[in-house]
Amino acid sequence: MKKIILSALALLLVGATCVDVNAQEKTKEQLKAEAAAKKAMKKEFDGYLKTAKKNSQFGEGVTPNIEVAREAIKNASKLSISEGNADFYLTAGQVETTAFKLAALSQKYEEYAAAAQAGFDYYSKAYDAAVGSNAKAVAAAQEGAFEIYNQTSGLSMIGNVYYQFKDYPKSLAAFRNAKVAFNTPVIDSQKAKPEVAAVLAVCKADSTINNLSLNSFSVAQYQMNDTTEAIKELLYLKDHTTDQTQLNQVLQSLALDYYGLDDSLAFENTLKEGIQKLPSEPWYITNLINVYIGRNDLNSASVFLDKAIESDPSNAALVNTKGLLLEQQEKVDEALKYYEKALELDPTSASVNSSLGRYYFNRAQAVEDEYYNKKKFDEGDRQATPMYDKALPYYEAAYAFDTERKDKNVGIALRQLYGRKIAKLGSNSAQGKELAGKRAEVMAAYGLE
């Protein structure tokens, strides 16, 4: 039994040795073929690069042929030898640099933008491929990349060009590239050079990056209608705003975008952030209160509002909002006190005057309903009239101060109040005609039928 096992093992060993010998002989044949293929590929590759270099020369007495040069680069890129090849990337960068310069001279700005971005990307790849192994290629990549970076104001001009030609996706991408281009190794590695440092100081300035983010936001929000992309820029901007006015604009835009996406949690959190950072701005507290009112969580609404008033007691808008909340809770007598206080703080506020007008208008209607339900129409009219008369001057003041005609309810209330008085005075009376003229003016101002 042992001999049989040993013989079997010996046969297996012999068989394995034969396979190895055949494999080695086959590998030698393959190596020869592969070497020949590589040599042929290298020759073909070098030919393409030679053609690209020849046709991308730029200078006096030289006529470059960018079409031929780009075709050569395209062909070279199909060969595996081009992958990670610094010389290939440098040559491709040279082709695009020449194309960039020619387009600038001929004012073909879309071509200018495309060539500038492509050239910068090629030089970046050349630097990455050469660093640590080819100092000459590293220097050439740095020089080429910085030339494009400098002449395009840190690549920001590329975004402007695409914007002018309404290619908004490319414009957005270009502005975003410009925000971080100074961090690419091919540029960052040159920061010790005085001429580079001077350019980087401008491109890396907070105001420059801020403006690029504003451009990106504008393109995404208004030209592309892409709320998700716009939010990305707003999230950056809210931590890098230049002043309180800009912070307010950014936070409001961010909140509205979240609202548009039905992201109620993010909307609520942004409103709370606005309250914290901009306590004197009533927009956030008003909208947060509306959120809580929509959930019927009036206690939470009241808590936030009281804190806001405590920190800014002279803010008429906040005091007025407190009145609105109390009225929502049917605490009408308390609401009136806050409306009157708000009017003392800001008698020229359209919203405060509108609140007082609505308060008396609603009380008048409640009285009418009470008596009309009892079929006591004359008594209902008699009891309601003084409150309608109280509401009118407040609504007229609201109309006078609402110069942008934002509150259509003011026009609706005045149409009804003027109509009521005209019916009592008679449409042919002098006062009736005067009121009819006022009513027509108000209706036209608010676009009412």
Q: Quickly state the pLDDT bin for 290 (edges 50, 70, 90).
A: confident
The phi and psi torsions of 13 (rounded to 5 degrees) equal -65, -40
Among residues of the chain, what percentage have pLDDT more than 90?
73
Q: Does the reported pTM lie above 0.85?
A: no
Q: Which residues of 150-162 are buried (b: 16+ CB within 10 A; e: fewer)?
A: bebbbbbbbbbbb
Query: Is a pLDDT exceeding 90 seen at residue 29?
Result: no
Segments making up each domain of the chain, as ranges: 33-204, 279-343, 347-449
Residue 312 has a pLDDT of 82
pLDDT at res. 15 = 46
Burial class (CB in 10 A: 0-12, 13-18, 19+), 127: buried
For every residue of 110-147, DSSP letters joined together read HHHHHHHHHHHHHHHHHHHHHTTT-HHHHHHHHHHHHH
Dihedral angle computed from the Cα positions of residues 40, 44, 50 and 51, in that order, rounded to the nearest 10 degrees: 160
Position 442 confidence tier, pLDDT thresholds 50, 70, 90: very high
Q: Is the dihedral of CA 158, 159, 162, 165 positive or negative?
A: negative
pLDDT, tens digit (0-9, with 9 covering 90-100), for 108-133: 999 999 999 999 999 999 999 999 99
Mean pLDDT of the chain: 90
Burial 94-109 (b: 16+ CB within 10 A, else e): bbbbbbbbbbbeeeeb
DSSP collapsed to 3 states, 37-95 = HHHHHHHHHHHHHHHHHHCCCCECCECCCHHHHHHHHHHHHCCHHHCCCHHHHHHHHHH
Does domain 279-343 match CATH 1.25.40.10? yes
The lowest-confidence range among 86-95, 304-313, 422-431 is 304-313
pLDDT per position as a tens digit, 68-105: 999 999 999 999 999 999 999 999 999 999 999 999 99
* Distance between CA atoms of residues 236 and 214, nearest Å: 10
Do 33-204 and 279-343 have matching folds? yes
**Candidate from 32-46, 161-175, 279-293, 366-380 with smallest mean pLDDT:** 279-293
Report which DSSP code applies to 280. T
Say if residue 258's pLDDT is above 80. Answer: yes
Architecture of domain 33-204: Alpha Horseshoe (1.25)
Please give the pLDDT value at position 112.
96
